[in-house]
Amino acid sequence: MTPSPALLLLLALVGRSSGQTVSLSCTQVPGALVQIDAGNGQVFGVNSAGMIYTLYGNSWTQLPGALIHVTVGAAGVWGVNGGHLIYKLVGGDWVQTAGLLKQVDAGGAQFVSGANRNDDIYCLGNSATVSVKDDSGLPWVNIEGKLKYYSCGPLGCWGVNSADDIYYRHSVSDCACEGSRWEQVQGKLSMIEVGSDGSVYGVNSIGDLYRRNEISLQNPLGSSWSQVTFASQKFKHVSQDLGRLWLITVDQRILKCLL
């Protein structure tokens, strides 16, 4: 990655319904990415050429291979390539697994989920994610409905469809990753990510960033959306882990914000 000078930014989190404003301290991280994912204290990303990177301290280290989407979480490190083939990082090597996905998420309780090129939704239970082998035929479970992006965390799973409608999946667990039913949530987002603490962030079609308010174990759907405003900045991707918000701008800059 080509280094770029660090830039300290103050960003405002604005609650549309309450008028609340919270300042976030953000630093520009050297490099350029089109997608990023943080989990288990690790950060991975891919650039526009499909090169894969992981962050050690303040430096990016390139991994072998090429992917269009990478994810890290309790289920390990997974990714999909341009042909939608699925891989898991095992012992420093990418091991191809059964199935085809365009987007994958490892943020659940040791289970993996994602969507394929037809917006069909799948998940893989925790017993299968920990025993991946070269020749393993994995028992992917097809979940009813259609989504273009699907992400899970400790308090449930969220997704968006081709019309940017937002949905929450009820009764998802480590032993029943398919859940029970969908509930539509007010708003429009083009991508959505569940953080390692259950927080939910998303980006809409024009690059505006939003956070879901008042999510808890008792109320996993939360209450409303707050826009995170950055003057003229627009965003492509977001991820959250261990009190840090990771952002990719539309021009592929990387921001790290302390929550």
Interacting residues of 51 by C-beta distance below 8 A, sequence separation 6+: 62, 66
Within-domain flag for 237:
no
Which helix (H) or strand (E) segment is 111 a member of? none
What is the number of structural domains in the chain?
1
Within-domain flag for 135:
yes
- pLDDT, one tens digit per residue, over 63-80 is 999 999 999 999 999 999
How high does pLDDT run on average in the chain? 89
CATH of the domain at 174: 2.130.10.30
Give me the pLDDT at residue 17, please. Answer: 41
Within-domain flag for 23:
no
- pLDDT, one tens digit per residue, over 87-98 is 999 989 999 998
Which of these, 3, 2, 10, 1, lies nearest to 233 by C-alpha position?
Answer: 10
Two tokens at 165? Answer: 């409608």
Within-domain flag for 239:
no
**Residue burial 141-158, b: 16+ Cβ < 10 Å; e: rest:** bebebebbbbbbbbbbbb
- pLDDT, one tens digit per residue, over 205-233 is 999 999 999 999 999 999 999 998 876 78
Within-domain flag for 211:
yes
Nearest 10 degrees: CA dihedral of 24, 211, 42, 218?
120
Distance, CA of 85 to CA of 88 (rounded, Å):
10
Within-domain flag for 78:
yes
Distance, CA of 82 to CA of 69 (rounded, Å):
9
User: Which of 9-18, 35-44, 139-148, 169-178 bottoms out in mean pLDDT, i.e. has the lowest?
Assistant: 9-18
Which of these, 108, 71, 73, lies nearest to 86 by C-alpha position?
Answer: 71
Q: Are 175 and 125 in contact, with CB atoms under 8 Å apart?
A: yes
Q: What is the residue range of 135's domain? A: 33-228
Q: What count of other Cβ atoms lies within 10 Å of the Cβ of residue 223?
A: 13
Within-domain flag for 205:
yes
Within-domain flag for 9:
no
